[in-house]
Structure 1
Amino acid sequence: MSLVSADMRRRIGPREFDFARQVAVMAIVNRTPDSFYDRGRTDALGAAVAAAHRAIGEGADWIDIGGAKFAPGPPVPVAEEVDRVVPVVAALAGSGAVLSVDTFQPEVARAAIAAGAHVVNDTTGLRDPAMADVVAETGVAVIVTHSLAAPRTPYPSPRYDDVVAEVGAFLRERVALAEARGVASDRIIVDPGHDLNKHTLDSLELTRRLDEVVALGYPTLVALSNKDFVGESLGRPREQRVEGSIAAAAYSVMRGARIVRVHNVRETVDAMRMLEAIEGWREPVFLEHNR
C-alpha cells in the first residue's frame, strides 16, 4: 500500500507531477559566496545560469535559486538578495523547469515571482507571516520547512523529546497559518528540514520515520544532499558524500518523499528514475535484452 495519498497530482509552474508515482529532482543553484557546498562557484550570474542549464540538461525538473543561506552569518540586505536571485530567475524563465526561490524575505519572494518564479522555498517555515500573504496573493506554491532558529543565527545544541513528533506538530501549525491566510492546500509542500537545527541522530530519525511527515498529506521534499548527517554517518568529508546522499534520498522516496533537493543532479536523476522503474511507476527507456 502506498505511503502517499492517491490524489497527489500537482501543476507547479510549467510542469505537471503525479506525486503518487513520480519523483521530482530539484537542483540547487546558489548565488552566495558562502554557500554550504559549492563555496561560491556559482556566485557570478553567468556561472549560476550556466549551472542551471547544465542541471536541466542532466534531467532536473526543478531549479532552486538562493541568494542568502539560512545558516549563521552576517545579514544579507534585501536589495542585495534581490540583485542575486532575480536575474537568475529571469534568465531561466521559459526554460521549462520549475523555478523556486530559496528565501525567507517576503520582498525577495515577491520580486522573484514577478521575474518568473513558481515556488517560494522558505526554510524558516513562514517565520514571517507576510510570506504567506505573498504566496496567497500571487498563487504560487510554497515549501514550508521545519527549523527553530531565526535565519542567519546560531542555535547551539538543539534538543527534542521526539524529533519527528515535534517536527510534525510545527509543520501542521505553519501549514494551518498558510491556509488561514489564503494559501490553497494544493499549493503547499512540506520539508522536515534535515540538519536544520538538528544533530545527526535527529536527521537519521527523521529519515527513518519520514512516513509520519508524509502522513500530513502534503507532498514532502527532502533536502539531504551532502549534509553533515551523511558525512558524520559515513566519516566522509563534504566532497565525498554523493553515494551516501543518494542512498538517503532513495530511502526517503521509499518512505514517501517525492521531491529531492540535490547538488549532484545526473547521479540523482538516474537513481530516482531507476527507482521509479523498479516500482513500475515508469517504463524503461528501451527494451532489448533477451527480446
Structure 2
Amino acid sequence: MGILNVTPDSFSDGGQFSSFELACQHADEMVNQGATIIDIGGESTRPGAEPVSVEEELQRVIPLVKYVVEHHDVWISVDTSKAEVMAQAIAAGAHLINDVCALQQPNALQVAAKLDVPVCLMHMQGQPKTMQDQPQYQDVVDDIILFFKQRIDAAIAAGIKPHNIIIDPGFGFGKTLSHNYQLLAQLDRFNVLSAPLLIGLSRKSMIGTLLQCDVLERDNGSVVAAMIAVQKGAHILRVHNVKSTVEMLRIMDATRNYHSI
C-alpha cells in the first residue's frame, strides 16, 4: 500500500505532493514500482495535527481517486474518518476505507456498513492533537486487542460483514517508543482476532528516535521493521518507499519458494 498524502502538513511528505499534478505523478510512480493499493489521504494525522473541514478534504481527495481509477488497475484506499468523505470516495471508485478513528466519528459506522466495502479499523489512544502527551497502558497488546474486539463487535452489529474488517494496531498513535516495539515484537498475538493485519510504521518516529535520523533517512529502518512485521503475520504494508519494500518482499518470497525459481 503506497501512501499518497495530499496535505501540506503530513509528517513525512508534507506539501511534497499537495498539488494535483505532483500527486498524480507520485501515484503513477508508486504503481510502477509495484504498489497494489494506493492510500489517498487529505487530512494529516501526525501528532499535533489540526483537523480540516469536510469540504477541504473532499477537494483534496476526490480528484485523485478519479485519476487513479482512470489510469491504473489497482485498489484505492481512502484514508479518512469522515462519513461524507467515505461515501463520496467510494462513489468515485475507491475500494477500501482506512479509518484512524475505527469508525467512531458521527455516522461512520452506518455509512461504512451501507457502502459494503472493506474497512480498516485503526487503534489510536486519544486524538492526533494530544495522543503523544502521555500514553499509558496496562499491557499495550492486551489493551489494543480488547479495543479491537469492541470495535469489531460494533461494526458487525452495524451491518459490516466480518470478512470486510481489517485491523491496524496504530504504530505511533498514542504509543511510547517501548509500546511501539512491544507491538512489533508481539504482532502475532493479534492473530486471535482472525482479521487481516495492516501495518503502517513507515518513516515514523519509532524508527527515527531509535536510529537518531531525520524523516527522509528512515527508509532502511522502515524496510527492516516491515520485514519483521511480515514475519509476524502482517498482510498489508502501508509505506512511503514502495520500491525498497517490494524488493524486500521479493527476496522474502524467493527465500520461501526457492524450489520454484
TM-score, length-scaled by structure 2: 0.95
Counterpart of 2:136 (choices 159, 162, 184) is 159
**Larger relative CO (CA 8 A, sep 6+): 1 or 2?**
1
Do the aligned partners of 2:208 and 2:215 also contact (CA within 8 Å) in 1? yes
Residue 56 of structure 2 is aligned to residue 80 of structure 1: yes
* Cα drift, residue 280 of structure 1: 2.4
Residue 73 of structure 2 is aligned to residue 92 of structure 1: no
Structure 2 Cα separation of the partners of residues 50 and 112 of structure 1? 20
Structure 2 Cα separation of the partners of residues 207 and 157 of structure 1? 20
Find the counterpart in structure 1 of residue 36 from structure 2. Answer: 61
1:219-269 Cα offsets, whole Å, 9 max, x none, are 001101011001112122211111111111000100100100000010101
Residue 227 of structure 2 is aligned to residue 250 of structure 1: yes
Structure 2 Cα separation of the partners of residues 239 and 144 of structure 1? 27
Counterpart of 1:137 (choices 99, 109, 114) is 114
Do the aligned partners of 1:120 and 1:142 also contact (CA within 8 Å) in 2? yes
Do the aligned partners of 1:69 and 1:152 also contact (CA within 8 Å) in 2? no
1:131-157 Cα offsets, whole Å, 9 max, x none, are 122221111110000002235444511
Structure 2 Cα separation of the partners of residues 85 and 65 of structure 1? 7
Structure 1 Cα separation of the partners of residues 204 and 112 of structure 2? 28
Structure 2 Cα separation of the partners of residues 277 and 127 of structure 1? 41
- Does the residue aligned with 2:23 lie in a helix, a strand or coil? helix
Structure 1 Cα separation of the partners of residues 128 and 181 of structure 2? 23
Between 1:155-164 and 1:68-77, the stretch displaced more is 68-77
- Does the residue aligned with 1:156 lie in a helix, a strand or coil? coil
Find the counterpart in structure 2 of residue 276 from structure 1. Answer: 253
1:153-210 Cα offsets, whole Å, 9 max, x none, are 4451101110000011111111111111111111111000001010111000000000
Counterpart of 1:171 (choices 129, 136, 148) is 148
Do the aligned partners of 1:124 and 1:147 also contact (CA within 8 Å) in 2? yes
Do the aligned partners of 2:125 and 2:131 also contact (CA within 8 Å) in 1? no
Find the counterpart in structure 2 of residue 15 from structure 1. Answer: none
* Cα drift, residue 216 of structure 1: 1.1
- Does the residue aligned with 1:262 lie in a helix, a strand or coil? coil
Find the counterpart in structure 2 of residue 203 from structure 1. Answer: 180
1:80-113 Cα offsets, whole Å, 9 max, x none, are 1000000000111141111000001111111111
- In structure 1, list runs of 5 or more residues that go unmatched: 1-25, 285-291
- Does the residue aligned with 1:267 lie in a helix, a strand or coil? helix
Structure 1 Cα separation of the partners of residues 78 and 259 of structure 2? 29
Question: Higher helix fraction: Structure 1 or Structure 2?
Answer: 2
Do the aligned partners of 2:132 and 2:176 also contact (CA within 8 Å) in 1? no
Structure 1 Cα separation of the partners of residues 131 and 168 of structure 2? 20
Find the counterpart in structure 2 of residue 39 from structure 1. Answer: 14
- Does the residue aligned with 1:69 lie in a helix, a strand or coil? coil
